[in-house]
Structure 1
Amino acid sequence: MQLFQKIIFASIIIMVALFVSSQKIQMDPPLEILLDKSAKYVGVQHPQDLGFYGKGIKVAVIDTGVDYTHPDIFGFGPDGKVIGGFDFIENDNSPQDTNGHGTEVAGIIAANGKIRGVAPEAKILAYRVSDTGESVASDLIVKAILRAIEDDADIINLSLGVNRTNDKIEDAINQAVKSGIVVVAAAGNSGPDLRTIGSPGKDPHAITVGATYNNITASLVATLEIDGKRFQVLPMVGTEKLVGPIAADITFGKYGRSSDLQGVDIMDKILLVERGSDTKDELVYFSEKEKNAANAGAKALIVYNNEPGIFLGDLKNKLEGPEYQPRIPAVSMSKEDGLELRAMLENKTSGTINTFYHPDFVSFFSSRGPVSPFYIKPNLVAPGVFVNTTSTYGMYNLTSGTSFAAPHVSGAAAILLEKSPTLNPQQIKSIISTTADPVSDTFGTLFPQEISGVGRLNITKAFDANLIISPDYAIFDLSPFVKSQTIEFDLNTIDGTKPNPTINIEFDDKIASFNHKIDGTTLSVTANIVASEIGEYQGSITVLDHTTTYHIPVLLRISDGTVRISEENGKMDFAIESEQEWSYAKISVYNQDSRLIDSISITPTESKSIMVQNSDTYWIQADLKSGKNTTSIYNTITVESVTPSFALDIGIPNQQLLMLIGIGAIVGMIGLIMYRR
């Protein structure tokens, strides 16, 4: 379950004056509600001003249920906000929420009261698959998805999941998408490590959503730059926005205790200290370190972790009274960076530190990709920090997590479907993804695709979009043996007019050059290798159509080899070309659902074939063994036609199917011999 309201960000709520007494409170909303901030920030006002509120669209919320007694999500049944659903915990038709998570999600999508959701006239189908909000059985998620298909949902919101691949969940998602249902999934809250998106966010057909900060003053970030090197730092809770950057010499002060700072020249300097203490069972609070540094005249405080990784520190604690106010900015950094910085201090070292508001910063908890070498995840990001929304018992809750970023996208999909009801899930996915606004880190550098996807949701641009781009991403595979590759994009318009866009390709020209042409509704983009520097590189194709700008993320891989495929009537044969000597290669073939069709092993002197039964596009991965090293190379092939032959499509790879047939034949022969005896 993508539940985050009780984790570390909860302490930041203290900073918000209207919510000083509690994280979850009954209140009269202020003039500017925080959901209005996040929804307006992503551009919902434009379609709503034109009268589009998601009317007639049914959004399935698979979660902890929905509190349909809440005045903003009132009513259960045909005349209510929640028009149906099912409780898979109690096995009845009353999916009442006792946890709050599902009600929070539903409120962001379609609340219509004191708080107004992104699509306040959309209807909700509630499916209760968890009562605690802490865990959920995968089989219940599958049952709920299948029930949503039966109940004719238009959109499914999945603000839950598992931190691993679950084929049954993804099979159910694929079935929903093939049934014409848009599926939106939260990326998860397992960041900042890479490869932390599991099911359902991993599914190639779902719209996977990570979380950014929000357009409120608590969305504070920090930077630290030393001799041109940029370090990742996080502002501690209680630190405030600076009027301007602080530039000063940096000095080390052990653990920041008063005794550690005696005899150390700290005046007007930035103080670096280690988290914790070197004395067993001694607690040295961050606030104590901050007060000692400020008392000694430091301009700022950096605390590096005493274990691997970065952390979010909190200057507020139970020992400090309400009168305590930090006097200098305090930031945290990882142990690895802290030790590197400490080593730099052997020579005189100066740095520049700053804290400022950055609503589009991707939150550190948001799960990251990649999930596959063949497509890009997450697809985009949306506000998921400090979102105020509905909760149980008629209350409201300030909450954070990718669980609350995803429903912003579900609401956007509802508005698009109200405007253009014939759009299919892939078209909705393309429009929402390609119209997102690229987002940058604290130094103004674009976030990598595996962190932010295309960028932050922009409902105004999505609503005004007339162009549908397919595919909505591009992955090129080049090598010394394949120095050029062309990818074709379909450019279709909603109103049926002929597209005439302006194309701009943003990429490092020292790595690859690009050219393009448009023929009718087909955009052809060719990548040409410039430097054979093995690695992965990112860029984008910008498409300007009338007044709307679209972004297609580009991933270009350069390897030292290639896998060539020859295909006839579904039979694939493979040949490896590589600059390194290899002794063994495992070839795997995947379909567009990211399901393994079959795999074989080949050597430089012995090859095998793989049969596919359907006309489709297939992804090929070759893992080459060279000495003690294994490298992967990729290719894609489209099988135009397959003449039907005697084959059973029962979901068993060809090799295993042949083995089963062989075993069956042997058993049959033994039975026949025994019978004759």
Structure 2
Amino acid sequence: MNEEELREFINSPDTVDFIVRGNDILDSFLRENPNVVATQTLAGRYVVCYTKASQFMDTLSRMGSNYVSSLPVVLGLLGRPEVEASGIGGIHRQPYLGLRGRGVLVGIVDTGIDYTQPVFRYEDGTSKIQAIFDQSAVGTPPEGFFFGAEYTHAQINEALASENPYEIVPQRDTDGHGTFLASVAAGREVDGFLGAAPDAELVVVKLKRARPFYTDLFAVPPDQPNAFGSTAVMIGVEYILEKAQELNRPVVICLGIGTNSGSHDGFSIFEEYLSEISNLVGVCLCIAAGNESQARHHTQGRISAVGEFQNIDISVTNESSVIYTTIWSGVADRMSVAVRSPTGELAARIPPKSATITTTNLVFEQSSVQVAYFFPLEGSGGQLTAVRVNNAIPGIWTITVYGDLVLDGGFNAWLPLTGMSSPGIEFLAANPNYTITVPATTVGALCIGAYNILDDSLYPSSSWGPTRINMMAPDLCAPGVNVEGIYPTGPGTMTGTSAAAAITAGACALMLQWGVVNGNDVSMSTYQIRAYLIRGCRRSPTVFYPNTQWGYGALDLVQTFNLMRETR
């Protein structure tokens, strides 16, 4: 197909996207399956593919063990800075350091940006935003990309100089989340407000809503606008990296989005891609840990022997709800499930057969139960069991997990992220551990929790670690309660780990200026910055560190630089 036909195909609501690792097997698969279209390659390895929704499940099932790893997930927003408490203000005032983010880019992958706000403009009226990639728009995509519209620095400046800027650059942030994070990380000093890295410049990606196929698959409410596909996030990150390379600047990428879908162990293609990105020289990746510790969306259990079982009880409050839960177990185990309704009607135990979906229609509730098994999973070799109940009546629904093959016997289960499913659904025996959201479970990225600077207490909803491979998370906490920033409507506050990630991203921009721009450590990347920040964390003498709530402590950039000075 020609370029126009390709873009029409990619942007069709009947088309779905997925990402697989590039190799000879994929090349052969693409030759044999002309219904699958491959477009760009991310990080030199991960191939973005498209096919028709009606052919998607059959296409991926024929790809074998790549299936679950290639399936995109749907993410939502993680929040709704106090530079002094984080030590950033102290670094600003150090005359010999002179660190304010000069020469560094901050990348925001979120809901877009209100580029007209004064905190994003210099004294002469020009913009500090180098580029905007609006994935939701129809226009001229960036070179090498196949959807959306790119607005260059020159176009943004032209718009700002005109009487009707939105006629030239029509991108808007209708939610405000992305604008707020950008202001916290890199807003200039205006009317008493000051971002963490005020001299850093911005590259912004406005994410498009996830495709209808995926919002239906993951039971996302139709009125939830902030549901984003992981493929779009990866493409957005790739765009920021290309702009950083084009401008020859180091870059901090801030992700204030997350999901409870996924294995939480770093083995998905989504997490693996971000892990590789975090190791690039001149790149730092900051990800919000999530706000799920008190949401009652995680539970766990253990089956001690073959033939034994454990119950997962799910409370449903509202009529006509949709239950969607995923159960993850280890490489040495094989498990199967049955589902019982509040009135006692049973969807009988379904034997595990990989890459199959079995539907049982209940008689009295007019509900349907779908069970899907996938194993062995790429990377971990474990098992995913996905259970969905359509038109679930209020009451207690019970999923019985049976041990068919047991060595370890442990399993974890998650309900969707807050706001990404029917309201009023929770586990009765919820566990706040293992609630770090994907992709903050990425190995090598900075995972940021949130605390309240007024009393130095942990933000109650800040997600707890560890990850499912028992990797310590979060790495540290930053201010995340009633933090001040700029919305499209003007000044306001936000609470959540996304705000904490934004202020940490600003701190990382100062680190990159010191290291890469000023030549003190030109090979600096995420892992060095992560180590420096962890060592400099402020820690309470009454708390044992690291722990799965605070990580290694609270962000303190002054202490980080003090310790760096002692070792150089």
Q: TM-score, normalised by structure 1?
A: 0.41
Normalising by structure 2, we get a TM-score of: 0.49
Which structure is higher in RCO with an 8 Å CA cutoff and minimum separation 6? 2
